[in-house]
């Protein structure tokens, strides 16, 4: 499996030698070996919500950790007129 982006983005491992290719393969193996969890089933996450935020459904949790998206309207200035 090939990865890109964060695993080999700019400023990271450069593939200019055989050693670098081996390093990238090692990074890919390590990445593939990570186990993921569902946050709601993680005891530490649950405890943090309860102790610091007053529960997962609290207003404090919503303000601190959740966001809303909305469309941004383009300004109608003379610069965006299509001729």
pLDDT number for residue 6:
57
The pLDDT value given to residue 58: 94
> Which pLDDT band, with edges at 50, 70 and 90, does 4 fall under?
very low
**What pLDDT sits at residue 18?**
61
In a 3-state reduction of DSSP, which class is residue 15?
Answer: coil
Mapping DSSP to helix (H, G, I), strand (E, B) and coil, where does residue 10 land?
coil
Residue 12's pLDDT is what? 59
Residue with tokens 């090692």: 26
Greater confidence (11 vs 27) lies with 27
12-70: pLDDT as tens digits: 555 555 677 787 788 889 888 988 888 889 999 999 999 999 998 899 999 998 888 88
Domain ranges of the chain: 8-37, 38-72
CA 54 – CA 61 distance, rounded (Å): 7
Can you tell me the distance from the alpha carbon of 2 to that of 61, in angstroms, rounded to the nearest whole number? 37
């Amino acid at each position: 499996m090939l990865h890109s982006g964060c695993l080999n983005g700019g400023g990271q491992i450069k593939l200019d030698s055989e050693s670098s290719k081996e390093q990238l393969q090692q990074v890919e193996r390590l990445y593939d070996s990570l186990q993921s969890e569902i946050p709601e089933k993680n005891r530490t996450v649950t405890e943090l919500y309860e102790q610091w935020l007053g529960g997962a459904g609290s207003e404090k949790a919503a303000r601190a950790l959740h966001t809303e998206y909305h469309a941004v309207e383009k300004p109608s200035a003379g610069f965006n007129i299509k001729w």
